[in-house]
């Protein structure tokens, strides 16, 4: 069974940085890109960026470029999202997602990590 398991909820202060993890299992981890998607409270889905675990190649949305970094530790099948300079508007649920059985789209998602940014 393919699973993406994310780290838990966190509360951060403005200006701090966050790091969320996403651990994959049940499939060949290095074969498929993993993306990060943000969902602000009551709002839609925003694609933030992705990483190719085999060689750590990344691409980012311009909306987040400069503040976001995605990395991978292949030895433990885990991808990380780092976001710096947190603002209250970064309060959101962050999802990791991948495709393992389809030619496009995300057929597997993590459970989401709720990040609250508040002073």
Partner 1 sequence: DIQITQSPSSLSASIGDRVTITCRTSQAINNYLNWYRQRPGKAPDLLIYAASNLHSGVPSRFSGSGSGTDFTLTISSLQPEDFATYYCQQTYIVPQTFGQGTMVEI
Spatial contact of 3 and 64, defined as CB atoms under 8 Å apart: no
Q: Smallest distance, Å, CB 19 to partner 1? A: 20
Pick out residues in 22-51 that bind partner 1 (CB under 8 A): 35, 44-47, 49-50
Q: Return the sign of the alpha-carbon dihedral for residues 119, 114, 10, 80.
A: negative
Question: Shortest approach of partner 1 to residue 99 CB, angstroms?
Answer: 8
Q: How far is CA 112 from CA 31, 55, 78, in A?
A: 22, 25, 15
Q: Which is closer to partner 1, CB of 16 or CB of 61?
A: 61
- The structure tokens 């750590």 sit at 56
Binding site for partner 1 (CB under 8 A): 35, 44-47, 49-50, 59-63, 95, 97, 101-107, 109-112
């Amino acid at each position: 069974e393919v699973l993406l398991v994310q780290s838990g909820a966190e509360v951060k202060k403005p200006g701090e940085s966050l790091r969320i993890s996403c651990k994959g299992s049940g499939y060949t981890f290095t074969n498929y890109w993993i993306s990060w998607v943000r969902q602000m409270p009551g709002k839609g889905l925003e694609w933030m960026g992705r990483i190719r675990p085999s060689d750590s190649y990344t691409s980012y949305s311009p909306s987040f470029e400069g503040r976001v970094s995605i990395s991978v530790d292949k030895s433990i099948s885990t991808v990380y999202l780092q976001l710096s300079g947190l603002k209250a508007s970064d309060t959101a649920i962050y999802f990791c997602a991948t495709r393992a059985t389809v030619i496009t789209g995300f057929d597997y998602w993590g459970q989401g990590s709720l990040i609250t940014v508040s002073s």
